[in-house]
Chain A
Amino acid sequence: MRLVLCDDNRILCEALASVLQAQDHRVLAITTRASEGVAAVSVHKPEACLLDVRLPDGSGMDAARAMRQECPDTKIVMFSGLSDPAVVSEARKAGVAGFLRKDQKPDSIVRAVEAVCAGGVAFDPAVSRAQGRRANGEYQQNLLGALTGRETEVLRRIAAGQGTRQMAREMGVTISTLRSYVKSVLTKLGAHSRLEAAAIASEGQHLSVV
């Protein structure tokens, strides 16, 4: 991955950069201010930017919006010590692909950013739980919105309790294709199992056809 890091804690950025580089990822720039972060993203056009929520010269949220504008292909992962559901919700609206808390192992952060670069989303489980408690189900709606038509159908069938073989037969695809659909559904929803994906689907009340 090619990355830009933006956090006013430079020591944290440099330490994470060394963890990332040890795993063959490239950190193109380390920035500690919102304005520098936005400039670095527009110059380097990285695959992803790890962005702190609070920065000395402005909010990370405004920076995220500016980055989306400047370089829509860059995936933005917000990074925070806290996970206020209102802030997470605002971040989702700003179009970020992930929201991680700083109480994760460094390797979990790397895995999450990798998932985002692979087209998924990465919302910290604690963040998601806090968000899930919000009654309006807005979170699940956003997650489900990221699915393609085929993936939505797979999710509907998972929720209906269908097995791999049945789904493959009824959808007219091979079993391995079907498995790859399932895998990308799980990745996008940040679910660890089909059961969890089904739970997210029902919470989102998205599947009127079930």
Chain B
Amino acid sequence: MEIRVLIADQERTFAEALAVRLGDEEDINVVRAVQVTTPGAWLTAGHPADVIVVDGDLPGAAADRLCAEISGGTGSTRVITLSASSEPERIVNAIRAGAAAWVRKDQSIEYLLQVIRGVARGETWLPATETGNVMRLLLQEQDRRQQNGRLLASLTPRERAVLTCLAEGSGRREAVASQLHLSINTVRTHLQNIMAKLGVHSALEAVALTRAGGPVLGEQPFSPETQQAQRPPCR
């Protein structure tokens, strides 16, 4: 079974030399090798590929955007990110965007070939030395998300409404008060209770907690009777 490979890199020499080398393999057909700084799914137009090998060190996380675009599509194309680095945070971002593999550029071509064949079979390949760190990061993030979820669940519907307003950008207490038809003092009290329950020291931190890993407030389990009455419009 022939594997169709597309190579997209910011360095033309790299893209084309790699294309020549991969072309020596009987089971690999390089359909396109292109120098590009903002790759997108358009690269595959007229050049259908099973595997895309993309430069992970493009400016502006362009490789992650390509992964998201490709994995959000209907095709079965899979993406291998090549990078000079193997920071676990970057690998996690790539996985989240839908990358099938992360390969360091200081690996050998033999290794890259293994990854290309593996990915074409549906496997996921990460640098073995970083797999532990990547999993730990993902688990920590999941824990934080759950913990934040528990904290947010301890808020009363009214407190949640105040926090929602703040999260949606009603920075000033007066604005929150007028939107929720409360007095400024009441808003202040709610906010103090919110901060105490969440264990934070400012409204900003409280809002950050709803964003950093925490589920969106709107997705909180409201009881049916409070949902209508207590979730005020906030714009």
**Chain A interface residues toward B at CB < 8 A:** 8-12, 14-16, 18-19, 22, 32, 81, 102-106, 109
Q: How far is the CA of A27 from the CA of B106 in the complex (A)?
A: 18
In the complex, B137 has a CB within 8 A of chain A: no
Contact between A11 and B16, CB atoms less than 8 A apart: no
Chain A, Cβ-Cβ closest to B16? A106
Contact of A9 among B12, B16, B21, B106 (CB under 8 A): B106
Query: How far in angstroms is the closest Cβ of chain B from A31?
Result: 11
Query: How far in angstroms is the closest Cβ of chain A from B139?
Result: 30
Chain A, Cβ-Cβ closest to B11? A102
Across-interface contacts of A8 in B (CB, < 8 A): 84, 105-106
Contact between A19 and B105, CB atoms less than 8 A apart: no
Q: How far is the CA of A9 from the CA of B12 in the complex (A)?
A: 14
**Chain B interface residues toward A at CB < 8 A:** 10-14, 16-18, 20-21, 24, 35, 82, 84, 103, 105-109, 112
Query: How far in angstroms is the closest Cβ of chain A from B40?
Result: 20
Across-interface contacts of B21 in A (CB, < 8 A): 14-15, 18-19
Could you list 10 examples of A-B contacts with CB < 8 Å? A10-B108, A11-B82, A11-B105, A12-B13, A14-B21, A15-B14, A18-B109, A19-B20, A32-B106, A102-B13
**A15-B20, A18-B24 known; A104-B109 Cβ under 8 A:** no
Across-interface contacts of B17 in A (CB, < 8 A): 12, 15-16, 18-19, 106
Best-surrounded residue of A8, A16, A105 (most CB of chain B within 10 A): A16
Contact between A12 and B14, CB atoms less than 8 A apart: yes
Query: How far in angstroms is the closest Cβ of chain B from A177?
Result: 37
Contact between A105 and B16, CB atoms less than 8 A apart: yes
**A8-B105, A15-B18 known; A104-B12 Cβ under 8 A:** yes
**A8-B84, A14-B21, A18-B21 known; A109-B13 Cβ under 8 A:** yes
Chain B, Cβ-Cβ closest to A30? B108
**A8-B84, A15-B21, A19-B21 known; A103-B105 Cβ under 8 A:** no
Query: How far in angstroms is the closest Cβ of chain A from B115?
Result: 11
Contact between A10 and B107, CB atoms less than 8 A apart: yes
Q: How far is the CA of A51 from the CA of B232 in the complex (A)?
A: 65
Best-surrounded residue of A9, A81, A109 (most CB of chain B within 10 A): A9
Query: How far in angstroms is the closest Cβ of chain B from A166?
Result: 42
Across-interface contacts of B24 in A (CB, < 8 A): 18
Q: How far is the CA of A125 from the CA of B187 in the complex (A)?
A: 67
Across-interface contacts of B82 in A (CB, < 8 A): 11
Best-surrounded residue of A12, A14, A105 (most CB of chain B within 10 A): A12
Query: How far in angstroms is the closest Cβ of chain A from B152?
Result: 44
Q: How far is the CA of A32 from the CA of B84 in the complex (A)?
A: 12
Contact between B14 and A105, CB atoms less than 8 A apart: no
